[in-house]
A and B are shown apart, each in its own frame.
Chain A
Amino acid sequence: MRNTFANTFFEAGQQDERLCVVVADISPAGAMDKFRQTWPARFINTGVAEQVMIGLCAGLALRGLRPFAYTIATFTLFRPFEFVRVDLCYQNLPVTIVGIGGGVTYSTLGGTHHAQEDVAVASAIPNMSVIAPCDPAETRLATQWCVKQERGPVYLRLAKAGEPDLTASAADGFMFGKLRYLKRGEDVCILGYGPILKVGAELAAKFEARGESASLVSVHTVKPLDREGIETALRRHKRVIVIEEMAPSGGLGSRVKEIAWDLDARCRVDCFSLQDAFLHNYGSHGDLLAAHGLDATTLAGKLGLA
């Protein structure tokens, strides 16, 4: 995802000289280094200083440029939070802040580097849009949208590297603010965002193995949420399952349940998320998800698919 973002951003940088990137001492991997070499004036490194990274982006945007703040998710959003809120969101500036390693991607670095409540925090700010693509191909489409958008601030939540392709045979294209069906079924609907959708795909296969057809949906735009799309999903399926690599409060699961209540939906709704806890565990990304109970085996058990 990280490399796909950098490649796509570099391509966009050739078309639009207003695009700049402001990093806080993150090593410019892949095409990001090419961006730095090609347009040194448009690559700004603030050093280990995240508040000025965001403030500087605001100033650039106020003077007609289109900056992207780029570093690890905890440091693009949490550390300079009030700058994101005031400088970007209150002023409603078209600045994208890219969070690398959303959720527990940085699985060996401990809780300091886990952005496990980022989507809830970002979604709570007025004017902010939140986009979390599920695989590299969707990252490309999301990035292409971000470099052109003029509506306001965006939190682009990415993972890091090695995510499998989930969208090659997607039923729908990418449209900001709309659910994207990767696969359409009738009985079960699995909603999620980010690379955790891989677990959703495994569960969908298990449902199908026992004769229930399953929809698999990338809710890449968590905010503004496609309320109409969620309502349709709740009406057309007997069972709706939400999986998110995020805290249990303030995310997609809570929203889907709110909408289900308002709609007086008849389907069953099950939501799965990270725990509301700092776990002192280390290992692979999969190990961390398993520690939070967010792995395919645990979820299959909870859903009666084991």
Chain B
Amino acid sequence: MGKIERQAGFDVAAARQRCLRYRRRILDISQRVTALHVAPAFSCLEMVDVVYHGLLRRDPGRGNSGFRDSFVMSKGHGCLSQYVILEELGVLLSGDLAAYCTPAGRLGAHPDYGTPGIEASTGSLGHGMGICTGMAYAERIQSRDTVIYTVLSDGEMQEGSTWESMMMAANLGLGNLVAILDLNDFQGLGRTSVTHPHFYPIVDKARAFGWETEEVNGHDAAAVYGAVTNRGGKQPFFLVGRTVKGRGVSYMEHVPIWHYRSPSKDEYQKALAELKEVAS
């Protein structure tokens, strides 16, 4: 087994710069093809960045992306955030992103198992939590010190399968499972807090299901990193990250159409002009 490099602290200033780069890169990709799901990638970007740059422990000898720990993007439609990070890490090639969603490429709008850096096929909601529960349990009974991380969407919390898995993960006492919820309050038909008010509060429900929980601002990288690294670790950990869908581009924020749409040329220029580091 290779040497495991533990991340020492977390440089928030560097994270802000990275996320600005990632947002620009995602917008670039959106101009070449009908890039679906820009706004869902923007809402979870800081949290995915913390996972890759702060939480996952490196182990060059292991895994298909050089990490000892694992990450599964349960909200598969947010995978642009993952792709741009994997590109920067050299796990994906820039040619891969250039050929996104084209016949010449291997990346689609949802992650596929077998693609470098992708540990499970997602895109159909409600699958990540079950797979991660199995992964975390398998790691434990094989006595391996590995943490499984996943990012879920709030709409995905309406899937019964997610709750089946949450019950099971807590019953198995999977302290090596960390689920991060991208609570952007939007789904296909509008604001979840309006259409399904009794869906909230989520954090209480997760706690009632036997998980250790915390709630933070999901764009505040330091808060996300701090909450996860300070967890007790006896039970699975559920972090609710309050986020803004489309964060970083004013006309995308809280506007449902950007779940699917790509910006026009003018909209793209406007977005680039106003993008700046997201502080929290």
Binding site for B on A (CB under 8 A): 41-42, 44, 46-47, 49, 51-52, 54-65, 67, 82-83, 86-87, 90-91
Pairwise interchain contact A90-B121, C-beta atoms closer than 8 A? yes
- Would you give the shortest CB distance from B121 to chain A, in whole angstroms? 5
**Please, could you name 10 A-B residue pairs with CB atoms under 8 Å apart, sorted by A?**
A47-B167, A49-B167, A51-B130, A52-B130, A59-B138, A60-B134, A60-B138, A64-B142, A65-B142, A90-B113
Distance of A60 Cα from B131 Cα, bound (Å): 8
A42 proximity list for chain B (CB < 8 A): 141
Pairwise interchain contact B130-A62, C-beta atoms closer than 8 A? no
Pairwise interchain contact B164-A49, C-beta atoms closer than 8 A? yes
Pairwise interchain contact B138-A91, C-beta atoms closer than 8 A? no
In-complex Cβ contact of A59 among B121, B126, B133, B160 (8 A)? B133
Binding site for A on B (CB under 8 A): 113, 119-121, 124, 126-127, 129-139, 141-142, 160-161, 164-165, 167-168, 172
Known interface pairs A46-B168, A49-B164, A62-B120; A54-B138 also in contact (CB < 8 Å) = no
Residue on B with the closest CB to A48?
B164
Distance of A58 Cα from B142 Cα, bound (Å): 16
Known interface pairs A59-B130, A91-B121; A51-B135 also in contact (CB < 8 Å) = no
- Would you give the shortest CB distance from A92 to chain B, in whole angstroms? 8
- Would you give the shortest CB distance from A148 to chain B, in whole angstroms? 19
A52 proximity list for chain B (CB < 8 A): 130, 133, 161, 164-165, 167-168
Distance of A58 Cα from B130 Cα, bound (Å): 8
Pairwise interchain contact A62-B134, C-beta atoms closer than 8 A? yes
Starting from the known contacts A56-B165, A61-B134, A67-B134, 18 additional A-B residue pairs (CB-CB under 8 Å) come to: A41-B141, A47-B168, A51-B161, A51-B165, A52-B130, A52-B165, A52-B168, A55-B130, A55-B165, A56-B133, A57-B134, A60-B135, A62-B119, A64-B138, A65-B142, A86-B127, A87-B131, A90-B113
A41 proximity list for chain B (CB < 8 A): 141
Residue on B with the closest CB to A65?
B138
Q: For A47, A63, A64, A87, which residue has the most chain B Cβ atoms within 10 angstroms?
A: A63
A47 proximity list for chain B (CB < 8 A): 167-168
Pairwise interchain contact B141-A56, C-beta atoms closer than 8 A? no
A49 proximity list for chain B (CB < 8 A): 164, 167-168
Residue on A with the closest CB to B160?
A51
A87 proximity list for chain B (CB < 8 A): 121, 127, 130-131
Pairwise interchain contact B138-A55, C-beta atoms closer than 8 A? no
Distance of A42 Cα from B124 Cα, bound (Å): 28
Residue on B with the closest CB to A61?
B134
Q: Say whether chain A's binding surface is mostly helix, strand, loop, or mixed.
A: helix
Pairwise interchain contact A55-B121, C-beta atoms closer than 8 A? no
Pairwise interchain contact B133-A63, C-beta atoms closer than 8 A? no
6 nearest CB pairs, A to B: A59-B134, A55-B130, A63-B138, A56-B134, A51-B161, A59-B135
Pairwise interchain contact B164-A46, C-beta atoms closer than 8 A? yes
In-complex Cβ contact of A54 among B120, B130, B139 (8 A)? B130
Known interface pairs A42-B141, A82-B124, A91-B113; A63-B161 also in contact (CB < 8 Å) = no
Known interface pairs A51-B161, A91-B113; A63-B139 also in contact (CB < 8 Å) = yes
B126 proximity list for chain A (CB < 8 A): 51
Residue on A with the closest CB to B136?
A59
Pairwise interchain contact B137-A44, C-beta atoms closer than 8 A? yes
Distance of A46 Cα from B129 Cα, bound (Å): 14
Distance of A46 Cα from B126 Cα, bound (Å): 16
B139 proximity list for chain A (CB < 8 A): 63
Distance of A42 Cα from B134 Cα, bound (Å): 12
- Would you give the shortest CB distance from A8 to chain B, in whole angstroms? 22
- Would you give the shortest CB distance from A46 to chain B, in whole angstroms? 5
Distance of A52 Cα from B132 Cα, bound (Å): 10
- Would you give the shortest CB distance from B110 to chain A, in whole angstroms? 10
Known interface pairs A52-B130, A56-B137, A83-B130; A91-B160 also in contact (CB < 8 Å) = no
A91 proximity list for chain B (CB < 8 A): 113, 120-121
